[in-house]
Chain A
Amino acid sequence: MAERRKLEIPEGVKVKVSQGEEYDFPVDVSPMHEGERIRKGDMYVELAGPKQPGFELVMALPAEDVEDMKVTLVGKDLDELEEGKAYPFAMIYYVAGEKIDNDLEPIIERRNHDFQNYIEGVMHLNQRYDIWIRVGKNAVEKGLKSLITVAKAVMLLFKNEMPFIEKVEAVYATDREFVEKMLKDVAIPIFEERDARVEALHDEDVEEFYSCTLCQSFAPSDVCIISPDRPSLCGAITWFDGRAAARVDPEGPNKPVPKGELIDSVGGEYSGVNEFAKTESGGVTERIKLHSFLECPHPSCGCFEVIGFYMPEVDGIGWIHRGYPEPAPNGLTFSTMAGQTGGGKQVVGFLGIGMSYFRSKKFIQADGGWYRVVWMPKELKQKVLKYIPEDMRDKIATEEDAKSIEELREFLKNVDHPVVKGVVRPVDGKKITEGWVEEREEVEEREEVREITQEEVQQTQMPFPEFQQLQQFQVPYMQSGPKIKLVIKNANITIDKIIVKRKEENKK
Chain B
Amino acid sequence: MRWIVVVAVTGKGGTGKTVFAAMLIMYLHKKGSLLAVDADPDSNLPETLGVGKVEKTLGDIKELFQHTRDEIKGDKEVWFEAKVFEVINELDNFDLLVMGRPEGEGCYCYTNNLLRGILRKFMRHYDFVVVDCEAGLEHFSRKTIDRADCIIVVSDTSKKGLKTAKRISELMDELGIRAKKALVGNKITDKRARDIMMEFALRTGFEFLGALPYDEKLVECEMLGVSLKDLPECEFKREFNKVLKRFEQWCLGGSNA
Contact = CB atoms under 8 A, between A and B. Distances in A.
Interface of A: 34-37, 39-41, 106, 110, 113, 125-128, 130, 132, 191, 195, 214-215, 232, 234-237, 241, 244-245, 253, 302-305, 322-323, 355-356
A247 to B, nearest CB: 11
B106 interface: yes
Contact of B85 (A41, A125, A304): A125
Interface of B: 69-70, 73-79, 81-82, 85, 88, 90, 95, 105-107, 109-111, 113, 118, 120-125
B109 A214 contact: yes
A303 B107 contact: yes
A130 B82 contact: yes
A237 B110 contact: yes
Contact of A110 (B78, B82, B107, B123): B78
B74 A128 contact: yes
Given A39-B95, A127-B82, A253-B113, 14 more contacts: A35-B123, A37-B88, A41-B90, A125-B82, A126-B78, A132-B82, A234-B109, A235-B107, A236-B107, A236-B110, A241-B75, A322-B106, A323-B105, A356-B70
Nearest to B118: A35
The 8 residue pairs across chains A and B that have the minimum distance between CB atoms: A35-B121, A303-B107, A236-B110, A126-B82, A234-B107, A35-B122, A125-B82, A214-B109
Contact of B107 (A34, A125, A195, A215): A215
Contacts of A355: 70
Most chain B CB within a 10 A radius of its CB, from A234, A244, A322? A234
A41 B92 CA distance: 8
19 contacts: A35-B121, A35-B125, A37-B125, A40-B90, A113-B75, A125-B85, A127-B74, A127-B75, A127-B78, A127-B79, A128-B74, A215-B107, A234-B106, A236-B109, A241-B75, A245-B77, A303-B109, A305-B106, A322-B106
B34 to A, nearest CB: 11
Given A110-B78, A241-B76, A232 B110 contact: yes
A39 B90 CA distance: 7
Contacts of B113: 214, 253
Given A110-B75, A126-B79, A34 B121 contact: yes
Interface centre among B75, B79, B120, by most chain A C-beta atoms within 10 angstroms, is B75
Q: Which residue among B95, B120, B121 has the maximum number of chain A CB atoms within 10 Å of its CB?
A: B121
B69 A236 contact: yes
A113 B77 CA distance: 11
